[in-house]
Amino acid sequence: MLFNYLQWLGVIFFMSNKLILILNCGSSSIKFSVFGFVDMKKYLFGVVEFFSFQHVHIQWQCNGAKKCKILDSLNSLEEILDFVIDAILMKELKILGELFAVGHRIVHGGPHFIESVIIDANVLRGIKSAISFAPLHNPFHLIGIKKIFAKFPNLLHKSVAVFDTAFHQSIPEESYLYPLPYFLYKKYGIRRYGAHGISHSYVLQESTKFLSKSRDSLNIITCHLGNGSSISAIRNGRCVDTSMGLTPLEGLVMGTRCGDIDPSIVFYLYEHLNMSLQDIKKIFTEQSGLLGLSGGISHDCRDIEKNYFNVSSSSHRAINVFCYRLSKYIGAYSVLMEGKLDALVFTGGIGENSVLIRKLTLQKVKFLNFILDDHLNSSIRYGKSGIITTSSSCPVIVIPTNEDLVIAKDVVNLLK
Ligand code: ADP
């Protein structure tokens, strides 16, 4: 009797628990999560990493239980998605509830999208037309979108695209134009688009709580420091400049990407070292940044930090260049704050966790009156958020990013 009752309760919960799938398909990884449409609770999340289709590593966590699967005989991204949907999602959804909507993270929206949209044929065309700006992302997003349509035809009008570039569409012409012949912008759309917009917008929203100010009145600088890194200047709650450009290669030093360099280096490598354009692209995107500066030790900040205090080491050199360049951007963006910087915010794997990078960077921008509290700096990491400066200083806030939540909220806002 009791068993029957509990079974019925389970059925009622299942039928009433509407869920949102968040999907982020890339060239070497797929991230997925499932949120409740009403309670915004994250019930499931997972990541698929694949350097080749013969070596696919999937980890996921559902209601606290961690699971893992290694596959070695797949042939395409479609087959990986089939496995994720059929063998993981369908199975877990039987217990969690009913899939009601999906949010796709789209890295590059080109000039077309200034906000999240419900996906239709026009949106698909827009994502396709930005492929040349994000060849390692947009083609894979399209595969993900089509796969979900094929597996869940009921989600046809409940699929939302959330763009990393949308948050930066507020930046003014003087910031998004490159000093190149104007027709390159007008005819071919060559301009600054930025990236990581979902993360910058999340930490902006969260900052309102720490500073007790409305979003529209906030002047902050947000540093998203991870394998890919970018920094944004946000004035009166709107992005006015950001370090990533036409593609996510410009700006700060990254794990393997070079960030800002003299464009003539391309000509030098091509003309004097006889490198092909393919080789040069590989150097700039896969062999530079922390990995390149450290002489190939690692792209991972944790590995490099270990040897930082050996001042003649390549790790010392790599971290110093990283922090030096970051501090230059902070200085430059402080000029855009019209005399009043409310806070500096750190997020991303490095920003959220690296006590060393935060300390070294703040030491280089003393003129902004950041007075670090060493105890707070050491204790606010591993998922904690908080202010790491003394009360007499301009606040520096650490905020763990939560891009999936932003996507889930946009899905709800568009579909409710
Ligand atoms: P992605 O851009 O791939 O999303 P993440 O935001 O996860 O990257 O950040 C990855 C980076 O964060 C790596 O360089 C990693 O070393 C760094 N990181 C993670 N934890 C720590 C830590 N405890 N100390 C220093 N760096 C860390």
Residue nearest to atom 23 of ligand 1 (CA): 353
- Cβ 159 under 6 angstroms from ligand 1: no
Q: Is the pTM higher than 0.75? A: yes
- Cβ 300 under 6 angstroms from ligand 1: yes
- Cβ 314 under 6 angstroms from ligand 1: no
Per-block average pLDDT, block size 10, for the chain (416 residues)? 52 68 92 96 95 91 93 92 95 92 96 94 96 91 97 94 97 98 97 97 98 97 97 98 96 97 98 98 96 96 96 97 98 95 98 98 96 98 98 97 97 94
Q: How open is the CA angle 349-43-353, to the nearest 5 degrees? A: 15
Look at strands 229-235 and 220-225 and give their pairing.
antiparallel
- Cβ 302 under 6 angstroms from ligand 1: yes
- Of 27, 291, 353, the one to substitute when testing ligand 1's pocket (max ligand atoms within 8 A of C-beta) is 353
- Give the pLDDT of residue 12: 46
- Give the pLDDT of residue 416: 83
- Of 252, 297, 302, the one to substitute when testing ligand 1's pocket (max ligand atoms within 8 A of C-beta) is 302
> Residue 68: in which H helix or E strand, if any?
strand 65-71
- What residues act catalytically? 164
Among 191, 29, 183, residue whose Cα is nearest residue 110: 191
- Cβ 384 under 6 angstroms from ligand 1: no
- Cβ 248 under 6 angstroms from ligand 1: no
Amino acid at 293: L
Asked whether the beta carbons of 33 and 111 are under 8 A apart, the reply is no
Cα of 29 vs centre of ligand 1, distance in Å, is 16
Cα of 288 vs centre of ligand 1, distance in Å, is 17
- Give the pLDDT of residue 11: 47
Give dist(CA 289, CA 257) in Å, integer. 5
- Of 257, 350, 404, the one to substitute when testing ligand 1's pocket (max ligand atoms within 8 A of C-beta) is 350
- Cβ 126 under 6 angstroms from ligand 1: no
> Which strands make up the sheet holding 229-235, listed edge to edge?
238-242, 229-235, 220-225, 343-347, 396-398, 386-387
- Give the pLDDT of residue 8: 52
Residues 136-155 as b/e (b if ≥16 CB within 10 A, e otherwise) read: ebbebbbbbbebbbeebeeb
- Give the pLDDT of residue 279: 98
- Cβ 350 under 6 angstroms from ligand 1: yes
Cα of 225 vs centre of ligand 1, distance in Å, is 8
The one-character DSSP state at 259 is -
- Cβ 198 under 6 angstroms from ligand 1: no
Cα of 256 vs centre of ligand 1, distance in Å, is 13
Counting atoms of ligand 1 from 1, which one is nearest the CA of 227?
2
Cα of 200 vs centre of ligand 1, distance in Å, is 16
- Give the pLDDT of residue 400: 98
Number of helices followed by number of strands (H, E) in the chain? 17, 14
- Give the pLDDT of residue 256: 95
